[in-house]
Chain A
Amino acid sequence: MAGKTLFDKIWDAHVVKSIEDGPNVLYIDRQFVHEVTSPQAFAGVKERGIQVFRPNQTFATPDHNIPTKDQHLPIQEELSRMQVATLAKNCEDFGVTQFGLGHPYNGIVHVVGPELGITQPGMTIVCGDSHTSTHGAFGAIAFGIGTSEVEMCLSTQCIMQPKPKKMRINVEGTLKPGVTSKDIALYIIAKLTTGGGTGYFVEFAGSTIRSLSMEARMTLCNMSIELGARGGMIAPDEVTIEYVKGREYAPKGEAWNKAVAYWRSLPTDTDAVFDKEYTYKAEEIDPMITYGTNPGMGVAITGNIPSLDSIDKASHKTYLKSLEYMGFAPGEKMIGKKVDYVFVGSCTNGRIEDLRMFADAIKGKKKASNVIAWIVPGSRQVEKQAKEEGLIEILEAAGFELRQPGCSACLAMNDDKIPAGMVAVATSNRNFEGRQGPGARTLLASPLTAAAAAISGVITDPRSIN
């Protein structure tokens, strides 16, 4: 019999029941909850007159709707204030731990879970948010669910899921300087398209992946959803174990030793078989940037927007509509395009390493006067660390300001909206029409490429600024 994959091992250990020709009843170890996709689920639980089944396996934090300035004041906008208040009330009513606004652990749900050690290898993790795939970086099965499933999980700690197919994406070799895991993600999505992973759960493997830090792994797994995949994951190794060790919610003492022994048994067996497998060379990846309205529309920063004859005829209409929205034309080069906004943050690139990377690149330089920049930490803990490491001074000396944590301009549910027609280089994960505000034009890139744009005011190869 063929060996098992990392995914199989975790999945199979969590099946409570399988329904013939139907989904599995999958047991969920941890559920994360935020204010936007949970109110209707809590309301459903209340309507049924039941309790949250396992409140101590559920953790909540408001993030999507919150302002990134003056968080000590009441939230100005009424609907946002109400959603945040509803989350607090629901958590209190049902005994769920909440890291509310102003709490030292508040932040973006996918930044908070890992930094507190709530996210651990071998777990099943869900949240009503597609970028739950971030937690897969620890060798966990983590994926986004809809509000009905949030309600299922609150009610029974289980959800109904068909087992997805398995894909492995290998990246081998050494990355060139100036290339980050964000570029790996954008490169793979450009190759496979935003539908390339539909129906699959992806394991990222290979020497390049193993050489990545935990935070870089999170960036990559975060973006796996933009492939259309159910989620992405990376086998736990010493880097993972070292990262989890000693964190607030990590196992301690004898339990730690047992946990580590279990985690070490999780990596994919050498004779395991995947439904699909791709391999890429690290040396072929350049800093990437998107030019269109889905994350698959990306090119090397030195490249050009694809000409019309390189696009499948049936897709011409969609392609031109997308470029028209962006204000670009087929065949144009990316370098030198004017930039109005730079956004550094989100659950993709809002962790301390990202801020460090950005600060390092802009150190001793000045922000371009035509650029408005929003630098938003992923959590209060990230903010605190940025202060302790003196990053704030570096940012301020260059004309940048560090805001307070939250999702911010990633989806612009709060006041951080990019005005219509403006071009923003963003380290977030989605460049859909209107994602960063009605009419906003988003170019996805790494924190390094964002830094290069912020100091030059135009799209610039990050390798040329040092």
Chain B
Amino acid sequence: MPIEKFVTLESTYIPLPIENVDTDQIIPARFLKATTKEGFGKNLFCDWRYEKDGSPKKDFVLNDPTYSGEILVAGKNFGSGSSREHAAWAIAGYGFKVVVSSYFADIFRNNSLNNGVLPVVVSEPFLNKLFECVEKDPKTKLKVDLEKQSITNLATGDTESFEINSYKKNCLLNGYDDIDFLLSIKPEIEAYEKQTVKF
């Protein structure tokens, strides 16, 4: 189904300076029993976010009103583990449009892009600076420009460029998805099938 177009975003951000955040933390397995894509946002980081009785844990960053924004900035190697796309639905459902880290697991990166969430890889120093800045001033903003493939820390003015292949970039800029594309080349797929040997 069509995804939301993404061109630029200027927003405050929420820091999560933990490394190797895996998809079991992003959305624990017990929430995978749904048969639709709705409603995952409220269970994002569930076990870190809520006490057993369902009350919010005070010390978890999503429960801290000091921090807000549509960008999540996470420690190295974000999204490893299970291939569950529910992790991307939870991130998107919560309202994040961009996730910044110095490293993403492959499947998570793909899943995010397929759901209109842009994963931005930055260098370690840039990432550490982001954690520093937001600690000093929670209202620090980031600017992400997909067209230019650049990310700017508006507190320091530091800018880095990030990679995204031009196909995925076009999909996001225009808000269309892979299935639309694949369905449009069905004759080529059928031609491929005819020329391959099947056992």
Contacts and interface: CB of A to CB of B under 8 A. Distances in A.
Interface of A: 13, 16-17, 19-23, 25, 27, 36-37, 39-40, 43-44, 47-48, 50, 53, 64-65, 79-80, 82-83, 86, 120, 128-130, 144-149, 151-152, 155-160, 162, 164, 194-195, 198-199, 228, 230, 251, 255-256, 258-259, 262, 294, 315, 317-318, 321, 411-413, 430, 432-435, 438
B24 A433 contact: yes
B123 to A, nearest CB: 14
A53 B82 CA distance: 27
A159 B20 CA distance: 27
A232 B77 CA distance: 20
Interface string B82-99: 111110100000000000
A230 B33 CA distance: 25
Interface stretch (B57-65, B101-109, B135-143, B144-152): B101-109
Given A146-B114, A152-B178, A433 B25 contact: yes
Contacts of A148: 85, 111, 114-115, 177-179
Contacts of A19: 167
Interface stretch (B7-15, B153-161, B188-196): B188-196
18 contacts: A40-B85, A79-B33, A129-B83, A145-B83, A146-B107, A146-B110, A146-B114, A148-B177, A148-B179, A149-B110, A155-B182, A228-B80, A411-B82, A412-B30, A432-B81, A433-B24, A434-B25, A434-B47
A432 B25 contact: yes
B187 to A, nearest CB: 11
B75 interface: yes
Given A27-B192, A36-B32, A47-B1, 5 more contacts: A25-B189, A130-B83, A148-B114, A160-B167, A434-B24
A82 B27 CA distance: 20
Contacts of B197: 258, 262
A129 B23 CA distance: 12
B24 A255 contact: no
Given A148-B177, A198-B106, A432-B81, A50 B183 contact: yes
Nearest to B77: A195
Contacts of B37: 40
B39 to A, nearest CB: 12
A305 to B, nearest CB: 17
B22 interface: yes
B163 to A, nearest CB: 11
Contacts of A120: 199
A36 B177 CA distance: 22
B181 A160 contact: yes
B33 A438 contact: no
Contacts of A434: 24-25, 28, 47
Contacts of B82: 129-130, 411, 430
Given A145-B107, A230-B106, A160 B182 contact: yes
Contacts of B35: 39-40, 43, 82-83, 86
A107 B63 CA distance: 41
A16 B179 contact: no
A155 B177 CA distance: 13
Contacts of A430: 24, 81-82
Contacts of B189: 16, 25, 27, 53, 156-158
Interface string B154-186: 000000000001111000000001110111011
B83 A17 contact: no
